[in-house]
Amino acid sequence: MKQEALAFFQNTGLTAFASVLFFIAFAIILYGVFQKKNRKYYEQMSQLPLEKEQCHER
C-alpha cells in the first residue's frame, strides 16, 4: 500500500503544504518588519557598520 502510494508519488500535497507554511512564515516576518513602531530601532541597526573604530593618525 505504502509502496504503491510512493510509486505514484506526485507529492503535490506535501509540497503545497510546505509552500503554504513557508508563505505564512514569510508573511509573519513581513508583518513584523514593517510595523511602524520599530522605525527607530532599524535606524539604529543600519548605523552599526558606520561606527568609528580606533585608527592610526594619518
Partner 1 sequence: MERKLEKFFYDDNIVKMFIMATLFWGGAAFLVGLIIALQLAYWPLNLNLDFLTFSRLRPLHTNAAIFAFAGNAIFAGIYHSSQRLLKTRLFSDFLTKLHFWGWQTIILAALITLPLGFTQGKEYAELEWPIDLMITIIWVVFAVNFFGTIARRREQHLYVAIWFYIATIVTVAMLHVVNSIEIPVSFLQSYPVYAGVQDALVQWWYGHNAVAFFLTTPFLGLMYYYIPKAVNRPIYSYRLSIVHFWALVFIYIWAGPHHLLYTALPEWSQTLGMIFSVMLWAPSWGGMINGLLTLRGAWHLLRTEPIVQFLIAAVTFYGMATFEGPLLSIKSVSALGHYTDWIIGHVHGGALGWNGFLAFGMIYYLVPRLWGADGMYSKKLMSYHLWIALTGILLYYISMVSAGITQGLMWRAISPTGQMTYPDFVQTVNAIRPLYWVRVFGGLLFITGYFIGIYNIWKTIAMGKKVSPVEQQAYALTFKDDSNENAHRKLEGLGTVFTVLVLVSVIVGSVIEILPTLSIHKHLPQDEQILPYTALEQLGRDVYVTEGCYVCHSQMIRTYTPDVIRFGPSSTIAESMYDHPFQWGSKRTGPDLARVGGKYPDLWHYRHMVDPRSMNNQSIMPAYGWLETKKADFYSLRKKLSVLRTLGVPYTDEQVSQADIWAEKQAEEVAAQLEKDGAPAGLKDKKIVALIAYLQCLGKKAKTGTDTSKWNNFPFKKVAGGEQ
Please, which of residues 15-34 interact with partner 1 by CB under 8 A?
15, 18, 21-22, 25-26, 29-30, 32-34
Q: How far apart are CA 42 and CA 15, in angstroms?
A: 35
- Residue 21 CA to residue 56 CA, distance in Å, equals 52
- C-alpha distances (whole Å) from 13 to each of 4, 24, 40 are 16, 16, 42
Binding residue (CB under 8 A) for partner 1 from 1, 14, 20, 40: 14
Residues at the site binding partner 1, with contacts judged by CB under 8 A: 3, 6-7, 9-12, 14-15, 18, 21-22, 25-26, 29-30, 32-34, 38, 41-51, 53-56, 58
